[in-house]
């Protein structure tokens, strides 16, 4: 692997009230992501995924360890990192164009009005939003609002794009379309990305590597799993990729091999039973399995390939 562009070293974090015993959240997390790679952070709810992302964003401080972007240590928020949340963070009184323009002017305050506009139009064009430049967020679908958020985050040309479950609230068709678009954008821009998700198939689809976080009483620990599938993949055909089924089984096995951490061992109709029954057979559609708190396993099904045309979501930048 080439030299790390995003590097996380020994990150530790605890939470708790001032007079209460601190609760360990992260216990020595390490990760190295090369320029242009996508790393997905996967794990059950409450294991510290979003805390890790906030530390990388500089919105929280670690108790120990460090985060480096392009060789520089992260010591707070910065325009070298663009952030998109699941809940949209657009200014409701501004148009699509002005929401992006706000970020661009903050990034390059000395640019002329014409240069700012041209720059905004470039990134809005990448997400097919040029026909709705003058609309406000309330006039947009959820999918279009999410694309505005992605365009705004990318418009500041961040070294690292941070995504905190940006597609989690979307219907399967819309989610699949936006996942495909994100892959295209990242390939075009050689964008380095860190994505938090609890969707097993999303992690496999988007990631070059998966940081699987295991919650534990002493704080979350992590295992790095290379994805190893062809980069030019699509949500509608993910289930046909060589190696997909084996990787998906492996992720579910990691989740379920520690019942003392994630909850009681599954019975015949639970996640392990589902995985063993052939859910990954090549002739099945891509499913969207999610890992809930304490290892609760939620299985969802995406529609068949020809229907996967939509785009959508809600989000914003820091």
pTM of the model: 0.77
Q: Flag whether 263 is in a domain.
A: no
pLDDT at 36 over 60: yes
Which has more pLDDT, 21 or 112?
A: 112
Domain count, the chain: 1
Query: What's residue 151's pLDDT?
Result: 93
Q: Flag whether 163 is in a domain.
A: yes
Q: Flag whether 312 is in a domain.
A: no
What's the Cα-to-Cα distance from 80 to each of 123, 126, 159, 161, 208, rounded to whole Å? 17, 20, 5, 9, 21
Average pLDDT score over the chain = 80
CATH of the domain at 206: 3.40.50.300
pLDDT at 284 over 60: no
| Residues 6+ away with beta carbon under 8 Å from 152 | 82, 90, 99, 100, 102, 103, 123, 316, 317
- Confidence band, pLDDT 50/70/90 cuts, at residue 142: confident
Please give the residue range of the domain that contains residue 25: 4-257+271-307
pLDDT at 214 over 60: yes
- Confidence band, pLDDT 50/70/90 cuts, at residue 271: very low
Query: What's residue 290's pLDDT?
Result: 54
Q: Flag whether 314 is in a domain.
A: no
In which residue are the tokens 């559609």 written?
Answer: 285
């Amino acid at each position: 692997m080439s030299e790390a562009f995003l590097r996380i070293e020994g990150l530790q974090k605890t939470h708790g009230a001032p007079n209460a015993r601190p609760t360990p959240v992260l216990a020595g997390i390490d990760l190295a992501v090369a320029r242009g790679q996508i790393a997905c952070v996967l794990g059950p709810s409450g294991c510290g995924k979003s805390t890790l992302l906030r530390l990388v964003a500089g919105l929280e401080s670690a108790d120990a360890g460090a985060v480096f972007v392009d060789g520089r240590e992260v010591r707070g928020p910065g325009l070298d990192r663009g952030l998109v949340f699941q809940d949209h963070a657009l200014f409701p009184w501004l148009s699509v164009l002005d929401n992006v323009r706000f970020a661009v002017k903050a990034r390059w305050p000395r640019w002329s009005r014409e240069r700012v506009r041209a720059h905004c139009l470039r990134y809005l064009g990448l997400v097919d939003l040029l026909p709705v430049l003058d609309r406000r967020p309330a006039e947009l679908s959820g999918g279009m609002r999410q694309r505005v958020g992605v365009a705004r985050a990318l418009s500041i040309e961040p070294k690292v794009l941070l995504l905190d479950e940006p597609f989690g609230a979307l219907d399967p068709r819309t989610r699949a379309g936006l996942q495909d678009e994100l892959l295209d954008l990242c390939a075009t821009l050689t964008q380095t990305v860190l994505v938090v998700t609890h969707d097993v198939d999303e992690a496999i689809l988007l990631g070059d590597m998966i940081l699987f976080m295991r919650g534990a009483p002493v704080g979350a620990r992590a295992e790095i799993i290379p994805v190893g599938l062809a980069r030019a993949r699509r949500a509608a055909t993910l289930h046909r990729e060589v190696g997909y089924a084996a990787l998906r089984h492996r992720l579910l096995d990691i989740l379920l091999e520690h019942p003392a951490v994630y909850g009681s061992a599954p019975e015949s109709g639970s996640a392990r039973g589902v995985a063993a029954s052939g859910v990954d057979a090549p002739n099945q559609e891509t499913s969207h399995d999610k890992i809930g708190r304490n290892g609760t396993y939620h299985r969802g099904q995406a529609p068949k390939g020809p229907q996967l045309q939509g785009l959508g979501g809600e989000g914003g930048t820091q």
